[in-house]
Amino acid sequence: EVQLVQSGAEVKKPGESLKISCKGSGYSFSTYWIGWVRHMPGKGLEWMGIIYPDDSDTRYSPSFQGQVTISADKSISTAYLQWSSLKASDTAMYYCARHRSRYSSSFKDAFHIWGQGTMVTVSS
């Protein structure tokens, strides 16, 4: 079964760092683009960025560039989203999602397989 399994919910204080994970299984992890989507409480979905694990080619939304880091370790089929200094406004559900089609040339694509989401709460 193709699936993405995300790490568990996190509760952090402002200024703390955090790295959440997304582990793929049942497919060739390194040859599909995988991305991150933010869903703030009561708001819509926001596309944060995507990475191609095979060569770590990464594209960010300008809204998130410099605020987060997207990375991947293809040896363990895991993608990551990390913050160096969290803010209260980072409180949200974060989803990882995999593109439908294989290979780096297929970056124009929809998110087909989704993780279950990781809730990040930032509060003092």
Residues of the shown chain interacting with other proteins in the complex, contacts defined by CB under 8 A: 35, 37, 44-47, 49-50, 59-63, 95, 97, 100, 108-112, 114-117
Nearest of 42, 82, 78 to residue 64 by alpha carbon: 82
Query: Quick one: 63 or 123, whose CB is closer to other proteins?
Result: 63
Query: Quick one: 16 or 57, whose CB is closer to other proteins?
Result: 57
What's the residue count for the chain?
A: 124
Contact 83, 70 (CB under 8 A): no
Residue type, 113: I
Name the minimum Å distance from CB 79 to other proteins. 15
Name the minimum Å distance from CB 61 to other proteins. 4
Query: Quick one: 35 or 53, whose CB is closer to other proteins?
Result: 35
Name the minimum Å distance from CB 47 to other proteins. 5
Question: DSSP per residue over 63-123, as a string?
Answer: TTBTTBEEEEEGGGTEEEEEESS--GGG-EEEEEEEESS-SGGG-S--EEEE---EEEEE-
Name the minimum Å distance from CB 28 to other proteins. 19
